[in-house]
A = this chain, B = another copy of it.
Amino acid sequence: MGRWEPGAPGRLQQAAIELFAERGFDATTVADIADRAGVTERTFFRHYADKREVLFAGEAQLQAAFVDAVVQAPAHSSAIELVSTALETGCRALQDARGPEFPRIRSAIIAANQALQERELLKMSHLTGVLAEAMVAHGLGVLPARLAAELVVSVFITSFGSWIEVGETRDLVTIQRETLEVFLTLAR
């Protein structure tokens, strides 16, 4: 089998994070990104609204992975069972999409720019909101659903931070399981 050849969206993402890392986010233009990816600017704008959105591609799929796990959980699952299945499925989707190198570079770019940090936080806030709704639809009360959704996102953010650390060898699903366990031990 030949090497996997990414399509235009994947090439644009790779080109964008390379350029953002080399030159900084502000100094990079859409024309630079399209040029590095070997496509036209018109192709860029078929896939992304602007250069910022290249960094947030895949947001809808990640959200869907977390939410679908809750939707498909067995009836009468406890709040912690819903938390666990959402984390397991969401983290597996992310780690199967690609290894930690791309997210590591992306996170460094975001950490260097306040507007990008705010956009990332809004993404996590939206994830909390849709997870809470899914948990209410699954039968939890409004308050337990909100708290369970907050727990999913807290453990996800913390696990993700560990996963992209240089020298970390565990996969994201393993880290997430261990992090949730540490959390539940604290709470007991």
**Chain A residues near B (Cβ < 8 Å):** 78-80, 114-115, 117-119, 121-122, 124-125, 143-144, 146-148, 150-151, 154-155, 157-158, 161-162, 179, 182-184, 186-188
A-B CB contact pairs (8 Å), 6 listed: A114-B122, A118-B122, A121-B121, A151-B187, A154-B154, A183-B187
- Which among A119, A147, A148 has the highest number of chain B CB atoms within 10 Å? A147
Docked CA distance A62–B125 (Å):
21
Q: Let me know if B79 and A148 touch, CB within 8 A.
A: no
A143 contacts B184, CB within 8 Å? Answer: no
Residue of B78, B147, B161, B183 touching A158 (CB-CB under 8 A): B147
Copies of this chain in its oligomeric complex: 2
Cα distance A147–B117 in the bound complex, in angstroms: 20
Cβ-defined partner of A118 (8 Å) among B80, B121, B146: B121
Q: What's the least CB distance linking A70 to chain B, in Å?
A: 15
- Note all chain B residues with C-beta closer than 8 A to A144: 182, 186
Pick the contact of A143: B124, B151, B158 (CB < 8 A).
B158
Q: Which residues of B contact A182 (CB under 8 A)?
A: 143-144, 147
